[in-house]
Amino acid sequence: MTEPHWQDLIALDALEPDDVTAVALGRHRLAVYDGTAGISVSEARCTHAGADLCDGYFDGKAIECPLHQALFDCVSGRALAAPAVKPLKMYQSRVRDGRIEVLLPK
């Protein structure tokens, strides 16, 4: 297994303010949330039916899937409303020198 390492993701000022921004990084399609608790990063696909969460409604704390209205906590990834029961895969992130970095496997 490869060691995870920090990877540059996006400039902080390139984010949609107080919203979710889609970012592709290699084989990963990520959702970057500029929420009330700060910046967080998850896989961009709903765990229920695979819809793109970046097209969903974001209230600063939770993201609603645009397909079936599943709801996820954007910090923990926990599924908050049916039909989703599986949590989102969340990634550790940090801001360095005005850029967001994410911890991903090599």
Residue 58 predicted with pLDDT over 70: yes
Q: What is the CA radius of gyration of the chain?
A: 13
Residue 105 inside a domain? The answer is: no
Residue 13 inside a domain? The answer is: no
pTM comes to 0.94
Specify the pairing of strand 90-91 against strand 38-43: antiparallel
Per-residue pLDDT, 2: 64
Which residues are CB-contacts of 42 (< 8 A; sequence separation ≥ 6)?
30, 31, 33, 53, 72, 74, 77, 88, 89, 90, 91
**Cβ atoms within 10 Å of 63's Cβ, excluding its own:** 27
Per-residue pLDDT, 3: 73
Residue 8 inside a domain? The answer is: no
- For residue range 67-89, list pLDDT tens digits in order: 999 999 999 999 999 999 999 99
Per-residue pLDDT, 105: 75
* Structural domains of the chain, count: 1
CATH of the domain at 73: 2.102.10.10
**Domain membership of residue 68 as a residue range:** 18-95
Residue 44 inside a domain? The answer is: yes
